[in-house]
């Protein structure tokens, strides 16, 4: 996996991010003192779960030759009592029977980002 590099951007909170040759920004909303120039870090976290879920469902359905034309994954994150609560909704588009639907519901929890978020996480920090 490629490393993510973050550097100060413009304004109070903006960060410029690099992943290989890809460049993007993160910021916070104006009501929180930012410039709203990009998704917040938590929105990127939600995007990671949504994208990984969609990729996992697409790969599984393709391997099974199921007629899944799209999986629209929406993730909202709220913080309550120091707990991050992820609400993930999935809309399956295509000709999917009830058994396939149930199996895809199970498969959604098998995406690597879901496993990382639901499992034990270790963060080792080195200050240079």
Closest alpha carbon to 112 in 64, 55, 46 = 55
Q: What is the pTM of this model?
A: 0.94
| Annotated domain spans of the chain | 1-38, 41-118
| pLDDT 10s digits, 13-57 | 999 999 999 999 999 999 999 999 999 999 999 999 999 999 999
Assign domain 41-118 to a CATH class: alpha beta
């Amino acid at each position: 996996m490629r490393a993510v590099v973050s550097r100060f951007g413009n304004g109070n909170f903006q960060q410029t991010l690099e992943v290989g040759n890809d460049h993007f920004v993160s910021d916070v909303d104006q009501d929180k003192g930012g410039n709203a120039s990009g998704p917040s870090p938590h929105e990127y976290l939600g995007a990671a779960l949504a994208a990984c879920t969609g990729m996992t469902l697409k790969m599984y359905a393709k391997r099974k030759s199921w007629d899944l034309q799209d999986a629209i994954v929406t993730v909202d994150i709220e913080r309550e009592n120091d707990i991050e609560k992820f609400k993930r909704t999935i809309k399956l588009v295509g000709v999917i029977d009830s058994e396939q639907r149930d199996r895809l519901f199970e498969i959604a929890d098998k995406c690597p980002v879901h496993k990382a978020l639901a499992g034990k996480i270790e963060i080792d920090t080195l200050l240079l």
